[in-house]
């Protein structure tokens, strides 16, 4: 079984954010840290070279693939901020109706800037995700 490429590291979250070229993405990153820390109760740490994660859980799929992932996370990428804060399940998609302006991957929300989305809705989405993870997987 292949090992996940994205693993927790000891790299500095602050150094990573301060190296982000776009000033708005830096500001949004610090706000996301505040929000995700408050909602998760976890401190931020780097997962791989570009994801800021909060907490972790162990997953194992029916296929046998398993690994660890952050409970919540984000990455201030060049094109958009990637938010790893959604279950990706159809039964939770209604939560996104009031989120605002975003694009969607399988379970990843892409936003250009935080002011494009509703913060209260994002908090609700994060809480639902944590609840889902805690009832489905082993939180570490």
**pLDDT over 90, % of the chain:** 73
Asked whether residue 70 carries a pLDDT value surpassing 90, the answer given is yes
In this prediction, residue 28 carries a pLDDT of 98
Backbone φ/ψ region at 103: left (φ over 0), alpha (ψ -120 to 50), beta: beta
Asked whether residue 138 carries a pLDDT value surpassing 90, the answer given is no
Separation between Cα atoms, residue 32 and residue 15, nearest integer Å: 16
Residue with tokens 């969607």: 104
In this prediction, residue 1 carries a pLDDT of 45
Asked whether residue 71 carries a pLDDT value surpassing 80, the answer given is yes
- The residue among 28, 34, 36 whose CA lies nearest residue 53 is 36
Domain ranges of the chain: 13-139
Element (H, E) at 39: helix 23-40
Query: Between the ranges 75-84, 88-97, 130-139, where is the mean pLDDT highest?
Result: 75-84
CATH number for the domain formed by residue range(s) 13-139: 3.90.1150.200
Burial of 41 (0-12, 13-18, 19+ CB in 10 A): exposed
Q: What does the pLDDT average to over 5-31?
A: 93
Asked whether residue 77 carries a pLDDT value surpassing 90, the answer given is yes
């Amino acid at each position: 079984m292949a090992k996940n490429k994205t693993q927790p590291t000891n790299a500095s979250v602050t150094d990573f954010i301060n190296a982000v070229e776009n000033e708005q993405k830096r500001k949004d990153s610090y706000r996301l840290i505040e929000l995700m820390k408050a909602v998760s109760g976890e401190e931020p740490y780097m997962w791989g070279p570009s994801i800021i994660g909060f907490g972790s859980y162990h997953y194992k799929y029916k296929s046998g693939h398993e690994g660890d992932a952050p409970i919540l996370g984000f990455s201030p990428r060049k094109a958009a901020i990637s938010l790893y804060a959604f279950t990706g399940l159809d039964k939770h998609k209604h939560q996104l109706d009031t989120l605002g302006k975003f694009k969607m991957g399988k379970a990843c929300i892409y936003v250009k800037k935080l002011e494009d989305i509703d913060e209260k809705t994002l908090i609700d989405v994060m809480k639902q995700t944590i609840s889902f993870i805690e009832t489905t997987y082993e939180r570490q």
